[in-house]
Amino acid sequence: MATTSRFRTRTSASTPVNTLATYKTYPVGTCANHWPSSTLYAPYNFVGSYKELDKTESTWDFCTPDFHRRSLKGEIINTPFQKLTVEKTQEPLQITDVYRCYQNITCSGLQTQVQGSGGSEWIGTLSPSTFLGATYPATPALSDSVIAIAISEAWSRASLEEIQALPAIAESQKTIRSIIDITGRAVNLLRDLWRLSRGKTPKAINAKKYYDRHLSFKQLQDRWMESRYALRPLVYDIAGVVAAVNRPLEYPPRLTFRGSESVYDIATSLTKTATHWLGRWEIWTQKETNHSLSARTGVLTAVHEISSASIWGLAMPVEAMWELVPYSFVLDWFFNVGQTLASWTPLVGLRALTSWLTVRDTVLQTARFHHYVDTLTTNQYCLERSLSISGGYNNIATTMTTRTPNPSRSILPSFSLRLDASKLLDLAIMGKRFLP
């Protein structure tokens, strides 16, 4: 008897590379007319080190005894899995702060300079909450419909068919009529072009009539839609027929069908995160939060019966009826109705063994200096100050990967916007044609 799987938890962390922060100071000088104190600013407080890279991983899964041996024998082992990865990277700030007294004022220590570098573990006035801020912009909640769409896509592909013969048969009369019309127009176009090239321009083929017959805006719209929804489906059907005829009735014992979907969003902010010395310089921080959610699914099936009906798509009446609904393809641009119906269609020639869902949820938070404003001189206080800041960014990447065995399929369609430039043009043409 096989030993049952045992739940386990594993945690690993990288050894951070600690880099020493450095700073140096020239003697702090004094200025007789300096306000509010005769002593110039003291050096900043730096922490001793910072971490250039910090990465931790935590994994929760099941340990299956003799996994490889049992898998080679054909046993299906499908257990849940979860992994959390947090990775932090950063670049230290480089700060130079210089004070100078004017020579015509009674001063000692004519120059004071503070130089330093450090990272996200600074303390005091140089902590991340002061310079980079502790709050990041939040993205809107990402829709979990991507999971339902990915699952429906994998199940809808679980089929042996090469062509949907039922819709092709039902639309055969329209297809034949379209071929005749397209051929007739092509013959007329070639004939008119030949006549024009020979310099023969009878009254029936003057320039205006030729333009109206072949090159008018309406004609161009019709030919575009004809190429998209008459010629292209015909080419696909011919390719499907050839594939079905040449398909050998032999398949591997198991087939895997996959589906995937993803969604992405970004939020940005620009905030003033630090001011100093009577507001004479400011630090602004650019922050971004990138949030992505991806779902990948798989359906493992066993091939137990292969027939011509399954290859030619003759055993899928539900999908055929949906394909025959006028403009059903337009609705599928916004909702995965066709995929949902196909995902619940009984498998023909296949037997479902198991399925799985892998969801990857990643949040990347980035903060860096955007720009810096500096006021150099204050004559009334006999002081000139120069502050420069360069470098400095923090990246925090958090990824949660979850694997779920045998996820549930959605009964209702999900919103799935699938538009490109060609489909937008199709919508515009159809809207102009059908709307009053």
Long-range contacts of 222-227 (CB under 8 A, 24+ apart): 224/425, 224/429, 225/426, 225/429, 225/430, 226/178, 226/182
Residue 221 has phi, psi (to 5 degrees) of: -60, -45
**What is the Cα–Cα distance from 142 to 216, expressed in whole angstroms?**
46
Examine residue 36 and say whether the peptide bond preceding it is cis (omega within 30 degrees of 0).
yes
**What is the Cα–Cα distance from 167 to 230, expressed in whole angstroms?**
13
Report the pLDDT value the prediction gives residue 290, as an integer from 0 to 100: 94
- Flag whether the pTM goes above 0.85: no
Report the pLDDT value the prediction gives residue 14, as an integer from 0 to 100: 73
Amino acid at 253: P
Residues near 297 by beta carbon (within 8 Å), at least 6 away in sequence: 150, 151, 153, 154, 258, 259, 260, 355, 356, 357, 358, 407
Report the pLDDT value the prediction gives residue 265, as an integer from 0 to 100: 94
| Terminal CA-CA length for the chain | 72
Report the pLDDT value the prediction gives residue 82, as an integer from 0 to 100: 95
Go through 309-323 and write b for each residue having 16 or more CB atoms within 10 A of its CB, e for each that does not. ebbbbbbbeebbebb
Each residue's pLDDT, cut to its tens digit, for the chain (436 residues) gives 456 778 888 888 776 655 544 444 444 455 544 444 444 444 443 443 455 667 889 999 988 888 888 888 888 899 999 999 998 877 665 555 555 554 444 444 434 333 333 333 333 344 455 556 667 888 888 888 999 999 999 999 998 888 888 888 888 888 888 888 888 888 877 877 777 666 665 555 566 666 666 677 778 888 888 888 888 888 888 888 888 888 777 777 889 999 999 999 999 988 776 665 555 566 678 889 999 999 999 999 998 877 777 888 877 788 888 888 888 889 999 999 999 999 998 888 899 999 999 999 999 998 887 666 554 444 444 455 555 666 667 788 999 999 999 999 999 999 888 888 888 888 888 887 776 5
User: Mutual orientation of helices 172-197 and 232-246 as an angle, nearest 10°?
Assistant: 120
* Cβ count near 210 (within 10 Å): 17
Amino acid at 408: S
